[in-house]
Structures are given as structure tokens and as C-alpha cells.
């Protein structure tokens, strides 16, 4: 059978050739094989590693209560429901979880999607369309960018966390009577910095723009109720669309939108990524429900504080060793805060990959962020702490990372 032009074209893709060459020579930081539960120490390809590459910020992935939530749902509903939420895919656990999320966020309603990516893709493409405008932070997650493209709306970007540029974009006239939606992350996943949501919300209100905040990485950590950065900045009730993932701090799979009843019913009839995909497996829904309830408890508050304490320990240790680490984020009432994500700036992609490999070989698992995930010459090592990391584990990681980066720079 003759190859089609399409397959022939794929075989000449330079990125594929580079991927294969690097994989076969020094090994790449991606697609590594985990062989144990996500925890402070994980077995990776036959060896134990201190895990600093996971979004398991609260350390719940192997928590007994979350395991029990998943197991109970598995025992009751089996492995899968094999249908979309529209048809046979809605189980009573979905309704419990959505009610719990709405109560947690003090909103009229909530809706759960199968994945976080689908949550952004489905929501954005459902609420805006041709004739509307979406204004997006330049560092927004790929799922946000893809949702904007799918919507058919006019898409504008503003420089990362640049409120003045956002205002300039919002001052540009819009043809017709279309709507304007501004989309930002609460906590950005590469640099680990917070969005200045107070100022962003004020600009949106001045210009009549709706605001959507993606709290995927801040849920469970920030705010008195731990709903995210919008709550921390006191603009949660002024946020039109509140999105978060269930796969980071809640340590399950899925995503949700919390907001008005009109918004949520609109998604139930218009969001293709919700209507035409199979529902999340029952174990994931059971685990999510257990995780949300734990996060809302006193144990959740303690774990959130421990995650921030661990982040401060890691960041301060690396900074005192002379490494170029991510800046602290300003707080609305003054002062600054760390976040569970600590970036170590490297610059060159190949240098970052080499340092990742050295750390991996010395027992520390990190994430290497390279272009286009970060700007050109902006490669970094992305480190994430868990509430369950011990001081000894973090001190060992600081020692190894500092030695590796310092020796490479010498």
C-alpha cells in the first residue's frame, strides 16, 4: 500500500527527528515511566526519586480518604459508565460533587467535565463566538488558547500580568454589540506567579467585560475557603466564570465551572466538550468528592499551609545558594507570598535538559520547561512541592539542585 502525502509529510517533520535523536542519546525529560503512587518519593524506571515534578500540591494522591472515595465508587458503579453526561453518563455522585462545589464556592451552580482541558475548551467555545472578543493573558494555558481558537471569536492577547496593556486592549472598539471576555489564570503554572486579580477585575468592570479565572493550580491552596486566588484577592463574587481542575490539589481527574445558574445551564446545552464525551470514570468522581470535602476541612487548611511552608523552604534554600528563582507574588493587603511552584531559571533549552538529566540521575525528579511552553531563551526547571514532603527530603533536593546548577554555570 502506497503511503499518502500526509504520512510522507509527517516522516519529514524536523521536530520528530529532533525528539527521536535526543531520546536515543541523552534521554528526554518527558514520558518517563512512574512505577508507584504519586508521593514525595516515587519509583521511576526502577529507582526512587524525590518527586518535585508533580501537581500533587496537598499530597492527597495516595491519601487513605481519597483512595476510599475512589474504591467505594468503583465497587458501586464499576469501571466506567460508558456514556456521555447527556445520556447514561450522569451518576448521583456527579450531582453530589457539583452541589458540593457550588456550596464551597458560594455560587448558584457548578458543572463537572471529564478533564480540565475539556473544561476550558468546552466552556470558552460555548459562551463566546463570532462577533465577540476574547482577551487572554499571553501566558495562559494551552487549553484556554485552544478554546479561544475553537470559539471563532476575535482573540487578543496582552503581555503577561500587564494590567495597563489589558486596559488598552479593552479600550479598542468592538464592531456591533458583541460581548468581551477576559481570561486569566489565578496561578500560572510555569513561573508560579499569581495574577493581579484585584486590578484586573477593576479594569474589566470599568469596560463592561466579563472575567473568567482559571484556578487549576491555586485551588486548595489560596483563599480562606481555599477556592483560589480570586477569593484571596476578594473578587470571587465579581468573577463571572470560575474554573478549576480536579487533577492538581484534589488529586483526581476532571474539571469544573462554578457560577450562575444561567451560565451552567447554557453549558449543559451548548458545550460540545461536555455533551459529546464519555463521562469520567466513577472512581475519579468518587475521589474528587472525597478530596473536595477534605480540602474544605481543617486538615485541608493545615495541608495548604504546609504546602506554602514547604515552598518557602525550597525557594529560600535555592535562592540562598545563589540560584535564579521565581519572584514572590504581591498580596492584595501588602506583603508577598510563595506558591507551590518554584521556577529555577536556566535560559538555554539544551542546558536545561542536561541539568534535568543530572538531577534525575542523582535522585531528584523535576520538570523541564522549554520553548514553546516558555519564551525563547527562557528555559527553566519547574519544581513543585507537596504538603507531604519532609524537611529532610527538601533539604536533600536543595543540596542536589544547587550543586548541579552551580557546577554547570562554573
Grid coordinates standing for 187? Answer: 496561578
Based on the domain organization, do 274 and 389 belong to the same domain?
Answer: no
Same domain, 143 and 214: yes
What are 62-79's pLDDT values in tens digits? 999 999 999 999 999 999
317 & 391 share domain: yes
How confident is the model over 132-160, as pLDDT tens digits? Answer: 999 999 999 999 999 999 999 999 999 99
More confident position, 4 or 286: 286
Does residue 136 fall inside a structural domain? yes
| pLDDT interval class at 314 (50, 70, 90) | very high
Verify that 280 and 308 share a domain, yes or no: no
Q: What integer pLDDT is reported at residue 18 of this predicted model?
A: 66
Q: How far apart are the first and last CA of the chain?
A: 55
Which pLDDT belongs to residue 34? 95
Judged against a pLDDT cut of 70, whether residue 26 lies above it is answered with no
Q: What's the rounded mean pLDDT across residues 54-64?
A: 98
Domain boundary among the residues 295, 326, 347 is at: 295
pTM: 0.94
Q: What is the DSSP letter of 399?
A: H
* Residues 270 and 220 grouped into a single domain: yes
Kind and range of the H or E element at 101?
A: helix 92-105
Q: What average pLDDT does range 44-62 have in this prediction? A: 97
Q: How many CB atoms lie within 10 A of CB 315?
A: 25
Instruction: Please report whether residue 404 resides in a domain.
Output: yes
The answer to the question of residue 78 being in a domain is yes
Which CATH number covers residue 376? 3.90.1150.10
In a domain, residue 242? The reply is yes
Same domain? For 164 and 87 the reply is yes
306: left (phi over 0), alpha (psi -120 to 50) or beta: alpha
Predicted confidence band at 15 (pLDDT cuts at 50, 70, 90)? Answer: confident
> 295 near 58, Cβ under 8 Å?
yes
Average pLDDT of the residues of the chain = 95
Say how far apart CA 210 and CA 58 lie, in whole Å.
31
Question: Is the domain of 120 the same as that of 225?
Answer: yes
Closest CA to 63 of 388, 367, 404: 388
Indicate whether 353 and 307 sit together in one domain. Answer: yes
Question: Are 145 and 276 found together in one domain?
Answer: yes
Q: What is the CATH number of the domain that holds 212?
A: 3.40.640.10
pLDDT at position 25: 65
State residue 372's pLDDT score.
83
Regarding whether 257 and 216 lie in a shared domain, the answer is yes
What is the residue range of 204's domain?
A: 64-295
Q: What φ, ψ does residue 48 adopt, rounded to 5°?
A: -75, 135
Spatial distance between the Cα atoms of 402 and 320, rounded to a whole number of angstroms:
9
DSSP string, 211-257: EEEE-TTTTTTSSTTS--HHHHTT-GGG-SEEEEESSSTT-SS-EEE
List pLDDT tens digits, range 206-231: 999 999 999 999 999 999 999 999 99
- Report yes or no on 1 lying in a domain: no
* Overall number of domains in the chain: 2
The residues, any chain, with a CB within 8 Å of residue 209's CB and separated by 6 or more, are: 135, 170, 180, 181, 182, 203
pLDDT at 175: 85
Check if the beta carbon of residue 239 is closer than 8 Å to that of residue 211: yes
CA angle, residues 245, 375, 151, in degrees to nearest 5: 50
Q: Is residue 318 part of a domain?
A: yes
Question: Which of helix, strand or coil describes residue 322?
Answer: coil
Cα–Cα distances in angstroms (integers) from residue 159 to residues 83, 172, 243, 338, in the given order: 41, 16, 22, 22
187 in any annotated domain: yes
Assigned domain for 3 exists: no
State the Cα–Cα distance between residues 148 and 126, nearest whole angstrom. Answer: 10
Q: Same structural domain for residues 305 and 193?
A: no
Residue-by-residue DSSP string for 156-211: EEE-TT-HHHHHHHHHS--STT--EEEEEESB-TTT-PBP-HHHHHHHHHHTT-EE
Residue ending a domain, choose from 295, 320, 349: 295
Single residue among 261, 279, 295 that ends a domain in this structure: 295
User: Does residue 118 sit in the same domain as residue 245?
Assistant: yes
pLDDT score for 371:
84
Is the four-CA dihedral 325, 361, 248, 300 of positive or negative sign?
Answer: negative
Largest pairwise CA distance in the chain: 68
Amino acid at each position: 500500500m502506497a503511503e499518502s502525502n500526509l504520512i510522507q509529510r509527517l516522516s519529514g517533520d524536523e521536530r520528530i527527528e529532533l525528539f527521536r535523536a535526543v531520546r536515543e542519546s541523552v534521554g528526554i525529560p518527558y514520558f518517563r515511566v512512574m512505577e508507584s503512587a504519586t508521593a514525595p518519593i516515587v519509583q521511576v524506571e526502577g529507582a526512587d526519586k524525590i518527586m518535585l515534578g508533580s501537581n500533587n500540591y496537598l499530597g492527597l494522591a495516595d491519601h487513605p480518604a481519597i483512595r476510599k472515595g475512589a474504591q467505594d465508587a468503583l465497587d458501586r458503579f464499576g469501571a466506567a459508565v460508558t456514556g456521555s453526561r447527556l445520556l447514561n453518563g450522569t451518576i448521583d455522585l456527579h450531582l453530589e460533587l457539583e452541589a458540593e462545589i457550588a456550596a464551597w464556592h458560594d455560587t448558584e451552580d457548578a458543572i463537572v467535565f471529564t478533564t480540565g482541558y475539556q473544561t476550558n475548551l468546552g466552556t470558552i467555545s460555548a459562551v463566546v463566538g463570532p462577533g465577540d472578543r476574547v482577551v487572554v493573558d499571553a501566558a495562559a494555558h494551552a487549553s484556554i488558547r485552544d478554546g479561544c481558537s475553537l470559539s471563532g471569536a476575535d482573540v487578543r492577547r496582552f503581555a503577561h500580568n500587564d494590567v495597563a496593556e489589558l486596559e488598552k486592549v479593552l479600550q479598542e472598539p468592538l464592531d456591533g454589540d458583541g460581548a468581551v471576555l477576559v481570561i486569566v489564570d489565578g496561578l500560572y503554572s510555569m513561573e508560579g506567579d499569581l495574577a493581579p486579580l484585584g486590578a484586573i477585575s477593576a479594569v474589566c468592570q470599568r469596560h463592561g467585560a466579563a472575567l473568567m479565572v482559571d484556578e487549576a493550580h491555586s485551588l486548595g491552596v489560596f483563599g480562606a475557603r481555599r477556592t483560589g486566588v480570586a477569593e484571596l484577592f476578594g473578587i470571587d463574587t465579581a468573577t463571572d466564570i470560575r474554573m478549576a481542575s480536579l487533577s492538581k490539589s484534589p488529586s483526581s481527574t476532571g474539571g469544573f465551572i462554578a457560577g450562575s445558574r444561567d451560565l451552567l445551564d447554557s453549558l449543559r446545552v451548548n458545550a460540545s466538550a461536555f455533551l459529546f464525551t464519555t463521562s469520567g470514570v466513577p472512581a475519579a468522581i468518587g475521589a474528587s468528592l472525597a478530596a473536595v470535602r477534605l480540602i474544605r476541612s481543617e486538615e485541608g487548611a493545615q495541608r495548604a499551609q504546609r504546602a506554602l511552608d514547604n515552598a518557602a523552604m525550597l525557594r529560600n534554600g535555592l535562592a540562598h545558594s545563589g540560584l535564579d528563582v521565581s519572584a514572590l507574588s504581591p498580596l492584595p493587603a501588602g506583603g508577598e507570598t510563595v506558591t507551590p511552584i518554584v521556577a529555577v531559571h536556566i535560559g538555554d533549552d539544551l542546558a536545561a535538559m542536561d541539568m534535568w538529566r543530572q538531577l534525575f540521575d542523582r535522585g531528584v525528579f523535576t520538570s523541564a520547561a522549554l520553548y514553546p511552553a516558555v519564551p525563547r531563551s527562557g528555559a527553566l526547571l519547574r519544581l513543585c512541592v507537596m504538603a507531604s514532603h519532609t524537611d529532610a527530603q527538601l533539604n536533600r533536593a536543595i543540596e542536589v539542585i544547587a550543586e548541579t546548577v552551580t557546577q554547570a554555570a562554573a
